[in-house]
């Protein structure tokens, strides 16, 4: 199991076109990291630098104890021992499935055994004689994974590999790919702009903003404790409220559970940690809000929109005295309709981001 370590990685395509700007990222051996970010933030550039197709301007890329890129060092792509699963259309169309998988295995004596093992691993034992056009899109992507894994790479890079698949197929292929990587203990980096994919598939989610990692951590941590409002909005749905933190240590400034508090348009909210400044933004998730009967002790609100998703529904409300709409997630079917009045209450503790910081 090999660790990937990236330090101070910088890459510009021209004088005013810096894409990676001192990016640091460590992926522990055997982990799958999802690199998540908006279109154009540099995800593909990062993969291409790791793979060796592009030279970094500064910084280092190390896999295990091998320095692959750094000052005076640029190991060519074919000598990096990196397997790549590209987007759709990656298989050689004129070669059978088995020959596609065997392509990068240089040890001739191991080729056949390795090909069979890899096809078995991705659930396609017995498909070796087929041609790529005789496979479904999902099967083709699983062959692409088998081909990337066959030469026993130290690291696997997956570049939006599920993009071309429809959503029903996508979840299944994603789970199969995840299971195959886990079985062999591969260290892998998955580039995606799909937050659900990142949260559901990866051990680590690394969110890229302005050429750096804005936050990196296990999926539940990035979701539950986003570093700032920008990350909160990018990874999931967020409720952001202007807030004034009660910074005193006295009992009056503490919630019932002893937590520090902040005053918001939704009332007094308990914070996970003391605020670093009095003014800022409280960060909540829509499932932390509860809709109740309107009445005393809760904030009044008017429903403006209801979106039903099957497993849950999102209800948008305008809260009396609060600027902008607020989203509330409810389990299952919502009985409220636009125009209805409701009460809104906050449950659990919130994050707090001081005004003026990055990502505000
Ligand atoms: N060869 C190139 N020459 C000049 N600029 C480039 C080149 N390749 C990419 N860029 C620019 O660098 C930035 C990052 O591109 P990159 O493809 O790495 O982003 P991305 O995060 O993978 O985007 P997407 O999610 O849309 O695929 C973009 O602004 C892009 O226009």
pLDDT at 359 (0 to 100):
67
| Structural tokens at position 209 | 């903003």
pLDDT, position 257: 66
Radius of gyration of the chain (CA): 24
* Span(s) in the chain for CATH 2.40.50.140: 230-354
Question: Which CATH number is 230-354 given?
Answer: 2.40.50.140
Residue 161 has what pLDDT?
A: 83
Reported ipTM exceeds the 0.90 cut: yes
Atom of ligand 1 nearest to the CA of 37: 21
Tell me what pLDDT residue 184 has: 85
Pairing assessment for the beta strands 239-246 and 261-264 based on DSSP bridges: antiparallel
Q: Rounded to an integer, what distance in angstroms lies between the CA atom of residue 360 and that of residue 358?
A: 5
Give 72 Cα–ligand 1 centroid separation in angstroms: 25
| CB neighbour class for 152 (10 Å; exposed up to 12, middle 13-18, buried from 19) | middle
CA 96-201-83 angle, 5° bins: 40
CATH architecture of 4-228: 3-Layer(aba) Sandwich (3.40)
CATH 3.40.50.300 in the chain, residues? 4-228
Ligand 1 residue neighbourhood (C-beta within 6 Å) = 13, 17, 19, 37, 39-45, 193
| In contact, 34 and 206? CB cutoff 8 Å | yes
Atom of ligand 1 nearest to the CA of 13: 4
Q: Is 348 helix (H, G, I), strand (E, B) or coil?
A: coil
Q: What is the pLDDT of residue 298?
A: 87
What ligand 1 atom has the least distance to the C-alpha of 208?
21
In this structure, how many other beta carbons lie within 10 angstroms of the beta carbon of residue 318? 16
Q: Quick one: which H or E segment has residue 98? A: helix 97-102
Among the atoms of ligand 1, which is closest to the Cα of residue 14?
A: 4
Using CA atoms, how far apart are residues 242 and 318, in angstroms rounded to an integer? 15
Q: Whose CA is nearest to atom 31 of ligand 1?
A: 40
Per-residue pLDDT tens listing for the chain (360 residues): 799 999 999 999 998 899 999 999 999 999 999 999 998 899 999 999 999 999 999 999 999 999 999 999 999 999 999 999 988 768 999 999 999 999 989 888 889 999 999 998 888 999 999 999 999 888 898 899 899 999 889 999 999 888 777 777 788 888 888 888 888 888 999 999 889 899 999 999 999 999 999 999 999 999 999 999 999 999 999 999 999 998 655 555 666 667 899 999 999 999 999 998 999 999 999 999 999 998 887 899 999 999 999 889 999 999 998 888 999 999 988 789 999 999 999 999 999 999 876 666
d(CA 307, CA 333): 10
For atom 26 of ligand 1, the residue with the nearest CA is 39
HSE on the CB side for 22, CA within 13 Å?
1
Considering only CA atoms, which residue is closest to atom 18 of ligand 1? 42
Q: Whose CA is nearest to atom 17 of ligand 1?
A: 44
Give the pLDDT score at 35: 97
């Amino acid at each position: 199991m090999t660790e990937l370590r990236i330090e101070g990685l910088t890459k510009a395509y021209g004088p005013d076109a810096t894409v990676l700007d001192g990016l640091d990222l460590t992926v522990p051996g055997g982990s799958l990291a999802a690199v998540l970010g908006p279109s154009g933030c540099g995800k593909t550039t990062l993969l291409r630098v790791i793979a060796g197709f592009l030279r970094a301007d500064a910084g280092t890329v190390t896999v295990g104890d091998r320095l692959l890129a750094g000052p005076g060092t640029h190991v060519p792509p074919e000598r990096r021992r990196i397997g790549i699963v590209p987007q759709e259309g990656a298989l050689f169309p004129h070669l059978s499935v088995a020959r596609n998988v065997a392509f990068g295995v240089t040890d001739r004596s191991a080729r056949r055994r390795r090909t069979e093992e890899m096809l078995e691993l991705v659930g396609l034992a017995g498909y070796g004689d087929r041609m790529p056009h005789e496979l479904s899109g999902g099967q083709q992507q699983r062959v692409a994974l088998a081909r990337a894994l066959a030469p026993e790479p130290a690291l696997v890079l997956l570049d939006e590999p599920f993009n071309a698949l429809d959503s029903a197929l996508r979840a299944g292929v994603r789970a199969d790919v995840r299971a195959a990587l886990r079985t062999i203990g591969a260290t892998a980096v998955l580039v995606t702009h799909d937050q659900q994919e990142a949260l559901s598939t990866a051990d680590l989610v690394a969110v890229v903003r302005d050429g750096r990692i804005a936050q990196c951590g296990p999926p539940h941590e990035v979701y539950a404790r986003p570093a700032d409002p920008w990350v909160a909005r990018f990874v999931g749905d967020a409720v952001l409220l202007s807030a004034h933190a009660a910074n005193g240590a006295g009992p009056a400034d503490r919630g019932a559970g002893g937590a520090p508090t902040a005053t918001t348009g939704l009332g007094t909210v308990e914070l996970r940690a003391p605020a670093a400044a009095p003014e800022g933004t409280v960060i909540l998730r829509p499932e932390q809000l509860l809709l109740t009967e309107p009445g005393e002790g809760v904030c009044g609100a008017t429903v403006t929109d209801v979106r039903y998703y099957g497993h849950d529904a999102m209800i948008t409300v305008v809260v009396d005295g609060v600027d902008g709409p607020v989203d509330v997630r409810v389990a299952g079917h919502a009985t409220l309709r636009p125009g209805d009045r409701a009460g809104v209450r906050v449950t659990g503790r919130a994050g707090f981001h001081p005004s003026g910081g990055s990502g505000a």
